[in-house]
Amino acid sequence: MTYPETEAFWNSQLQNSITVPDFASWEGRYRDLSAKAMATLDPPIRIATGPDPMQAVSKSETGRASDALIFIHGGYWRRFEAADFGFVAETAIGAHATFYNVDYRLMPAVRMADIVADTMAACEAILAEVDRAVIVGHSAGAHLAVEMALRLPKPPAAVVAISGIYDLAPLRHAFIQDELHLTTDEVREFSPLSRAADIPCPVYIAAGGDETVEFRRQSAMLFDTMSDAGRTASLRFVAFRHHSSIVSDLAIKESGWSIVVNDAMHRFRA
């Protein structure tokens, strides 16, 4: 596919700080929601998956030990940490699953291959000790979740991919390229859309109804590619949600997300 190379155009599609009206407030909201959720739980167990402090996963006893909700955070691969999204424990509680919250090293200090390797190490450690796992990712985390479905020797029961980027090529023409310095080789190797026909597990794809066309387009393309290949996928555009607000619904035990995760866990067994 040919992409326009106008940075202003791609910024209008991909720069959430200018497309989300109240963008600046969301980081604090995430942390407040996480503090509230984690205050009701025992301190998470930190499991190292490499020598760097960010090569780790935090485990919270929120449900059945045999079932895992694995969460991978977003932030365009260069900001946030797992603790900022501790509120996803609420969805794990609603799904009766143990909550695993994945950290990984961030760009530009490392490359995309390192981030994918960090995420794989965390997921492999989790999958070795549970019977079933659903991987949930938001934004860059949704990209990594789909990469895990493609790369893990033992794929998860399902992936829930929320507001993800599955084709990295447009990012090279947007504001974020100044930070990520994505190469043509990285775009080719780590754009899961080009390999979506091979995804072995079901993928529940979602994006906000108020997100930009590009985020909704990439979600639709992932769905279409999987469906055309006979793979199991669903697609939902969540009304009145934008890129930052859609993930906050994971802080509600009674939201539809816990039902989706529980259904995925037990309808499609790993």
Domain segments of the chain as ranges: 7-267
Query: Which residue, among 269, 13, 17, 40, has the nearest Cα to 158 in the 3D structure?
Result: 269
What pLDDT score does 270 carry? 43
What pLDDT score does 3 carry? 58
User: In angstroms, what CA-CA distances link 48 with 41, 170, 265?
Assistant: 20, 34, 25
Give the model confidence (pLDDT) of 138-158 as tens digits. Answer: 999 999 999 999 999 999 999
Which pTM was predicted? Answer: 0.95
Give the model confidence (pLDDT) of 94-138 as tens digits. Answer: 999 999 999 999 999 999 999 999 999 999 999 999 999 999 999
Q: Round to whole Å and give the CA distance between 131 and 88.
A: 20
Q: Round to whole Å and give the CA distance between 89 and 113.
A: 28
What pLDDT score does 96 carry? 94
Q: Which residues of 133-148 are buried (b: 16+ CB within 10 A; e: fewer)?
A: bbbbbbbbbbbbbbbb
Predicted confidence (pLDDT) at residue 166 exceeds the cutoff of 90: yes
Q: Collapsing DSSP states into helix, strand and coil, what is residue 154?
A: coil
CATH class, domain 7-267, is alpha beta
Q: Round to whole Å and give the CA distance between 63 and 94.
A: 9
Predicted confidence (pLDDT) at residue 4 exceeds the cutoff of 80: no
Predicted confidence (pLDDT) at residue 217 exceeds the cutoff of 60: yes
Give the model confidence (pLDDT) of 219-233 as tens digits. Answer: 999 999 999 999 999
DSSP string, 173-237: GSTTHHHH---HHHHHHT-GGGGGGG--S-EEEEEETTS-HHHHHHHHHHHHHHHHTT--EEEEE
Task: Give yes or no for a cis peptide into 108 (omega within 30° of 0).
Answer: yes
Predicted confidence (pLDDT) at residue 265 exceeds the cutoff of 90: no
| Residue 1 banded pLDDT, cuts 50, 70, 90 | low
What pLDDT score does 268 carry? 56
Predicted confidence (pLDDT) at residue 259 exceeds the cutoff of 80: yes
Strand partners, 132: 67
Predicted confidence (pLDDT) at residue 61 exceeds the cutoff of 90: yes
Fill in the amino acid letter for 95: A
